[in-house]
């Protein structure tokens, strides 16, 4: 079985079955914008007697905590059905956020899809142990070994101020999506910076919010997803989709 679909504005999902295991390949942005549809798509792949799922993250170019929360919840459902969820070929971007959130210690991670499938066989014979933990550690290096990439491009002041204004106009939606109020300090800092004229302070506050998105999941809503994506693309113009 092979199928392909879009989970969100920037996320694609292709699923296939091999040897009784479903392999879901994600490409693009694993973030709050695509989280609701991705959750439904991954859950639709699980059913009694077919609940062994490998998620290939090699094509993930951006990741946040809300996107990873979908994988955690899908894994819980798979286990209830007697199966599993394993991550394979984790991209540097996804690996960084797995480490930031500590989820690299909760999710089973393998360097390749084939290794994940073999690991599933080994787990049934009780031979997972330290070897699997070692594979997970190599797939998601800690902060000292974090992959480096190009420095973020400076944000355009006009685009950034527009993105911040749109986000703060939806502040109530952000508060509703954040019952533990982990984003409140960053939102307050953005509001203060928005009222001033220091674009550097505004950019610093915006980046602080993006850092919180990498660490803490939100309850996805259309308003939160749209404003989070707009802010990220104002700060990182290189993440805009290429023109057709």
- pLDDT of 236: 85
53-65 average pLDDT score: 97
pLDDT, residue 151, reads: 43
The rounded radius of gyration (Å) of the Cα atoms in the chain is 19
d(CA 12, CA 28): 6
Instruction: Answer yes or no: is pLDDT of 85 > 70.
Output: yes
Query: How high does pLDDT run on average in the chain?
Result: 84
Average pLDDT over residues 40-53: 94
pLDDT higher than threshold 90 for residue 214: yes
Q: For residue 25, which phi and psi values (nearest 5 degrees)?
A: -100, 120
Q: What whole-number percentage of the chain has pLDDT above 70? A: 78
pLDDT digits (tens, 9 = 90+) for 94-132: 999 999 999 999 999 999 999 999 884 444 433 343 344
* Res 49: pLDDT: 87
pLDDT of residue 8: 59
The per-residue pLDDT for 58 is 97
- Residue 124: what pLDDT? 41
pLDDT bucket at 237, cuts 50 / 70 / 90: confident
Q: How far apart are CA 98 and CA 119, in angstroms?
A: 20
The pLDDT of residue 125 is: 39
Read off the pLDDT of residues 150-180 as tens digits, 9 standing for 90 and up.
444 455 678 999 999 999 999 999 999 999 9
For the chain, the DSSP string reads: -EEEEEEETTEEEEEEEETTEEEEEEEEEESTTTHHHHHHHHHHT-BTTB-EEEEEEEEEEEE-HHHHHHHHHHHHHHHHTT-EEEEES--HHHHHHHHHHTGGGTSEEESSHHHHHHHHHHHHTT--HHHHHHHHHHHS--GGGPPP-PPPPPPPHHHHHHHHHHHHHTHHHHHHH-TT-SSHHHHHHHHHHHTSS-HHHHHHHHHHHHHHHHHS-----HHHHHHHHHHHHHH-GGGSPPP-
What pLDDT does residue 82 have?
95
| Strand ranges (E), the chain | 2-8, 11-18, 21-30, 52-63, 84-88, 108-110
The gap from C-alpha 103 to its chain's centroid, in whole angstroms, comes to 11
* Residue 5 DSSP SS3: strand
- Structure pTM? 0.81
The model's confidence at residue 93, banded by pLDDT at 50, 70 and 90, is: very high
What tens digit of pLDDT does each residue of 2-14 get? Answer: 666 666 568 999 9
pLDDT of 67 strictly over 70: yes
**pLDDT tens, position by position, 181-190:** 999 999 999 9
User: What's the rounded Cα separation, in Å, for the pair 148 and 151?
Assistant: 9
Q: pLDDT for 19-32, tens place per residue? A: 899 999 999 999 99
């Amino acid at each position: 079985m092979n199928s392909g679909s879009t989970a969100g504005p920037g996320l694609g999902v292709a699923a296939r079955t091999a040897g009784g295991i479903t392999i879901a390949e994600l490409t693009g942005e694993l973030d709050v914008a695509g989280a609701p549809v991705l959750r439904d798509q991954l859950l639709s792949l699980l059913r009694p007697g077919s609940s062994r799922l490998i998620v290939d993250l090699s094509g993930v170019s951006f990741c946040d905590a809300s996107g990873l929360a979908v994988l955690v919840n899908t894994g819980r459902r798979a286990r209830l059905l007697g199966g599993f969820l394993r991550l394979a070929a984790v991209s540097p971007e996804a690996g960084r956020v797995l480490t930031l959130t500590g989820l690299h210690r909760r999710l089973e991670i393998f360097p390749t899809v084939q290794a994940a499938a073999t690991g599933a066989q080994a787990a049934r014979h009780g031979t997972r142990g330290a070897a699997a933990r070692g594979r997970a550690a190599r797939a998601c290096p800690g902060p000292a070994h974090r992959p480096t990439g190009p420095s973020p491009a400076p944000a355009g002041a006009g685009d950034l101020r527009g993105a911040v204004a749109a986000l703060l106009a939806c502040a109530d939606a952000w508060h509703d999506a954040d019952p533990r109020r982990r984003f409140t300090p960053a939102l307050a800092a953005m509001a203060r910076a928005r009222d001033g004229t220091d674009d550097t302070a505004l950019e610093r506050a915006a980046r602080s919010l993006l850092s919180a998105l990498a660490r803490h999941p939100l309850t996805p809503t259309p308003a939160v997803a749209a404003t989070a994506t707009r802010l990220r693309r104002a700060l990182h113009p290189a993440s805009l989709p290429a023109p057709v």
